[in-house]
Amino acid sequence: MKEKIAESEGKREEIRIGVFICDCGSNIAGHIDCKAVTGYAETLPGVVYAKENLYTCSEAGIAEIQDAIKEHRLDRVVVASCSPRTHQPLFQSSCAHAGLNPYLFEMVNIRDQC
């Protein structure tokens, strides 16, 4: 079943989620099979783009998120990486700069919690 977000004039739009899994060098990848997590994320409803990154919070990682928002018309973004206490504002503002509502960003703490 396809996830739906908006219905206007009888037209429904599909949710388009991008998921970014961060290796964080060996900090995360040393404990989690990031490739398998990325593969699993690709199978979830609404996910149209999933990518594993070495350091998602780097300039290159941020640029990749922003490019994916535009290229894949993402309307939701999930980043699985380090603590939201230190990184959530960075990712939210980066999503906003790419035109995404920053409150449609979700962060999953896989460094501290795993």
| C-alpha dihedral (29, 76, 61, 86), degrees to nearest 10 | -70
Torsion of CA 34, 40, 44, 49, to 10 degrees: 50
DSSP state of 105: E
Domain boundaries, the chain: 13-109
The dihedral through the CA atoms of 78, 15, 49, 61 has a sign that is negative
Q: Residues, the chain, total?
A: 114
Return the ∠ at Cα 47 (arms to 43 and 51), rounded to 5°: 85
Q: Which pLDDT tens digit goes with each residue over 34-44? A: 999 999 999 99
Closest residue by Cα to residue 107 from 71, 65, 78:
78
For the stretch 63-104, pLDDT in tens is: 999 999 999 999 999 999 988 888 899 999 999 999 999 999
- Residue 114 pLDDT more than 80? no
pLDDT by residue (tens digit) across 8-65? 555 667 899 999 999 988 889 999 999 999 999 999 999 999 999 999 999 999 999 9
Q: Which CATH superfamily is domain 13-109 in?
A: Response regulator (3.40.50.2300)
